[in-house]
Amino acid sequence: MKLAVVADEIGTSLQEQIESMKQGKIHNIEIRKIDDKYLWEFSKEELLNFKKILDDNKINVVTLDSPVGKKTFPYERKMELFNMYIEISKIFKNKYLRIFSNIAENPNDRISSEDLERLCTIAQENNIELLMENERKTYAETPYDCYKIIKKQSNINIIYDLSNSFLEGHDVFEWYEKSKERITYIHLRDYDLKEDKYAYLGEGDIGIVKFMKIIKEDGFDGIISIETHLPMNNSGKTKRELFLKSMDNFYAITKELNIEIN
């Protein structure tokens, strides 16, 4: 397994994100926002500078988190953003690009196989692999929903976000089993139902230890990306402090289960 982290949850500025990654011993970054701005809001020159800083710090950009496929964007804007992120990927040289399931012209419809094939082809022509994430209140709330959409397509797999399914009342283990052949990427975070807030990894109710044991037994060889959401709890602690505590827990879990992380 490889380890990555969603950057804006561990720091706001790029420098804060880099310092948190160094302390957490992580070398792969998943970029959603820098300075509270999405990547498409920056100029090409600014993006090139970010890439140089990351290269200088020996940090690999593994994934760009696009908002394509969320209900909040009109269809035409989603298509425009998709093309923008393809161009941004040429700068960061990331392997993966994240999308969501609500890409159809009618936001209540799932994307047609023809449209999805077109997006997959465009990505493949640019050496990018698409990942569809299960997202709350979208067409695909579980990884199995994603699986049913993408199963006939190539150059696209699934980001399984456990807490997105969990918080909608779904069985995170059942849906993993039904869609695991296309799950290559996992967003890992935890949630405490009694406290009704996000929890440090392994201290909530999702069953992180059980899940890690299952994917080890399955020989999962994809990416685990840490996405704590702990800054949303308004604890008064810094993003870095919250992140490093979760990382301590994560490394303790991997040691207990004898899981090798790259």
Three-state SS sequence of 2-19? EEEEEHHHCCCCHHHHHH
What pLDDT, in 10s, does the model give residues 215-246?
A: 999 999 999 999 988 888 888 899 999 999 99
On whether residue 220 sits in a domain, the answer given is yes
Helical H segments across 126-179, by residue range: 143-150, 162-166, 172-179
CATH number of the domain residue 188 falls in: 3.20.20.150
**198, 231 contact by CB (below 8 A):** no
| More confident: 22 or 107 | 22
3 and 26 in contact (C-beta within 8 Å)? yes
Residue 262 lies in a domain: no
Residue 205 domain-assigned (yes or no): yes
pLDDT grade, residue 109 (50/70/90)? low
Residue-wise pLDDT for 51-60, tens only, equals 999 999 999 9
Q: What pLDDT, in 10s, does the model give residues 19-44?
A: 999 999 999 999 999 999 999 999 99
pLDDT score for 107: 60
DSSP conformation class of 232: G
pLDDT for position 75? 80
Find the length of the chain. Answer: 262
User: Per the structure, how many domains does the chain have?
Assistant: 1
The answer to whether residue 261 is domain-embedded is no
Whether the pTM exceeds 0.75: the reply is yes
Helix, strand, coil shares of the chain as percentages rounded to 5? Answer: 45, 20, 35
Residue range 112-141, pLDDT digits in tens = 788 889 999 999 999 999 999 999 988 899
Q: Left (φ > 0), alpha (ψ -120 to 50) or beta: where does 186 sit?
A: beta
Percentage of the chain surpassing pLDDT 90?
A: 83
pLDDT higher than threshold 80 for residue 108: no
Residue 57 falls inside a structural domain: yes
**184-203, pLDDT tens digit by residue?**
999 999 999 999 999 999 99
User: Dihedrals φ, ψ of 229, to 5°?
Assistant: 65, 10
- Residue 199 lies in domain: 2-256
Mean pLDDT of 101-112: 73
Per the prediction, the chain carries an average pLDDT of 94
